[in-house]
Homo-oligomer: A and B are copies of this chain.
Amino acid sequence: MTEHDPPPDYAAIRDLFRNVGIINQLAGAVARRALGSSVVGGAGMGTSEMMVLGRSIRMGDGETPTRLARLFQLSKPSMSAIITKLGRKGFVELRADTGDARSKRVYVTETGRAAHAAAEAQLNTAMVRELAGVDVAAILSAAPGIALLKGHMDERRNAVDGL
């Protein structure tokens, strides 16, 4: 905290943030198009739904909506909406938490797992197509700095909000 800040390079930092914003937007568009339709359960899947499904499959399901909201830095109402959509498609199931009647637990159904696998294949295909002809290693060289920045902002935000 208490540091002798050297004059920060505003322009370079602003550029970085702006490029991050543009990448995010373009990547979102690509992902949306890839997921837009034709996923197993019919009707397609939003990128946020995909993220939640993926995390629940890879890291284990049974999380509460609030915990998922924090994990993805989304507000509780947003996560609530995402889970509702996943539920309507039959991709997740909400069960009551035995022992805390306020809480719910999110479980991925078999249908959900299949839909996620199909969607992930489409995403990977789109990603390969999107990155065709680019120096992937050069791009991945940005990963440590980006991870650092993300970690720092995460912490700060959590500090401000009191987790």
- Residues in chain A within 8 A of chain B (CB atoms): 1, 3, 5-6, 8-10, 12-30, 51, 72-73, 124, 127-128, 130-136, 138-150, 152-154, 156-157
Distance in Å from the Cβ of A70 to the closest Cβ of chain B?
A: 12
* Copies in the assembly, this chain: 2
Sample of 19 further A-B pairs with CB below 8 A, known A22-B72, A22-B150, A26-B73: A1-B132, A1-B133, A12-B140, A13-B127, A13-B131, A16-B139, A16-B142, A16-B143, A17-B24, A19-B146, A26-B150, A133-B152, A134-B149, A134-B152, A138-B144, A139-B145, A142-B142, A142-B145, A142-B146
From known contacts A8-B136, A24-B21, A73-B25, infer whether A130 and B156 are also in contact, taking CB-CB under 8 Å. Answer: yes
Do A148 and B139 have beta carbons less than 8 Å apart? yes
